[in-house]
A = this chain, B = another copy of it.
């Protein structure tokens, strides 16, 4: 069964989007016709056009119905606002919830803006507590309240529990589809118990084995249950060496544990050891991908993800603070240069050469900082090896400084026929690379110490240091030795 377009799951998403776009374009054509006829013929559209119109919509709707929610979400993301809302209107309302879960935050906002409170509450009815909790941050407070009140007692408790954990904790990723059994039963009994389900929850690779009070005793992997003699007791099969999490655990740490131990699902236990929920690999995979994307965007100074089709004004607001911050640091560096204007007037070559010293410092410092940020993420930096790291980075910067400083020194000398200028250039390069190594090492460490994410903010500070110091060192040395 090689991928084919007959199979809606294996047709590429791009193809779905193209097909829907085509149907929408056809639709608009018909609407235009209807509109024009209406203008100079009569107030009501012709019967033929109206039928074609309806047929088109039916075809579009049929296509959407056959698609996985994730694929509908992809189509919604790829359409401009107007078309997006046409498609959103055609989605059957019982699928609204699962599709809202799949779209990005920015697009979700545009869809929610198109729904009234009652529709949102109805959509939430088809979702599990953990899924509602994922949507909640994007909903108005009173709608969340309505949703909570619409739940039955049991679900309400779960929902309130799920809502109480902050983003980035295991509690925010866990779900409540736990299948647990006692350890004093036989496999036969366990299997009979399972047959009472219509279908086990997705990502169930193990049963959680608990005692009378729901305390975790271990897990029984399905792959072991399936190959076991039905007469054997669960107690003799279960795995007691279990990776479990607290709902307060750091989601990133949990993700690392899933990677290390190749987990599919793991129990989440309360402080007193009771099983309250589970964490599954699909939530972990989504979390890893999402935090990766957020990080890439945050590094470029985008505070939130942008809908590709969002307004110029909203986008500018999203990007403004970063530009303002960088403007501040650039202004400071500019004042450093300003302090040497006298020297530059006498030797304009300095103005041409100074960006090289600053720029290479920034590149080199970013290399150091990328490695340190990675080592921090992998918990590989300790007091014991910090000194070794420092020695290594300083060594590299001196070596690189000697090599590239000499190259640039010779180039500057030949270019301006000025040996002293070449010497200053070489020396400044070397010194700024040492500054860059120190900054690349200590800025991420300091950010980590102060509880900020070093992966995101390090580069602004780093560029600030390497630019300002690069200008200062080069122009300072030049002022001393050349003028």
Binding site for B on A (CB under 8 A): 1-3, 7-10, 12-14, 17-18, 21, 68, 70-71, 74, 77-78, 80, 102, 191, 194-205, 215-217, 222-224, 226-229, 241-246, 258-262, 264, 269, 271, 273, 281-282, 284-286, 288-289, 292-293, 296-297, 299-302, 305-306, 308-310, 312-313, 315-316, 319-320, 322-324, 326-327, 330-331, 333-335, 337-338, 341-342, 344-345, 348-356, 358-360, 363-364, 366-367, 369-371, 373-375, 378-380, 382, 384-385, 388-389, 392, 395-396, 399-400, 403-404, 407-408, 411, 415, 455, 463, 467, 471
A389 nearest CB neighbor, chain B only: B308
Whether B259 pairs with A396 at a CB distance below 8 angstroms is: no
A386 CA to B241 CA, complexed, in Å: 53
Known A-B contacts A1-B273, A261-B70, A269-B2; the reply to A371 vs B308 at CB < 8 A is yes
Q: Which of B12, B281, B382 contacts A78 (CB 8 A)?
A: B382
In the complex, how many angstroms separate the beta carbon of A180 from the nearest chain B beta carbon? 13
Verify A226–B194 contact, CB threshold 8 A.
yes
A399 engages B316 (CB within 8 Å): yes
Taking the full assembly, how many copies of this chain does it contain? Answer: 2
Chain B residues closer than 8 Å to A215, beta-carbon distance: 1
**Chain B residues positioned under 8 Å from A289 (CB to CB):** 259, 288
How far, in angstroms, from A400 to B363 measured CA to CA in the complex? 26
Minimum CB–CB distance from A244 to chain B (whole Å) comes to 6
Cα-based distance from A80 to B12 in the complex (angstroms): 47
Residues from chain B with a CB closer than 8 A to the CB of A80 are 385, 388
* Neighbouring B residues of A296 by C-beta, 8 Å: 370, 373-374, 455
- Contacting pair A78 B374 (CB below 8 A): no
Beyond the given pairs A2-B244, A296-B373, A327-B360, 4 more chain A to chain B contacts, judged by CB atoms under 8 angstroms and listed by A's residue number, are A194-B227, A195-B229, A288-B289, A312-B399
Least distance between A346 CB and chain B CB atoms (Å): 8
The answer to whether B334 touches A367 (Cβ under 8 A) is no
Q: How far is the CA of A80 from the CA of B463 in the complex (A)?
A: 31
- Give every chain B residue within 8 A of A21 (Cβ-Cβ): 384
CB atoms of B244 and A223 under 8 A apart: no
- Inter-subunit contact B246/A2 (CB<8 Å): yes
Partner of A367, one of B7, B264, B300: B300
When the two chains form their complex, are residues A309 and B392 in contact, meaning their CB atoms are under 8 A apart?
yes
Known: A198-B227, A285-B285, A389-B308. A356 touches B334 (CB 8 A): yes
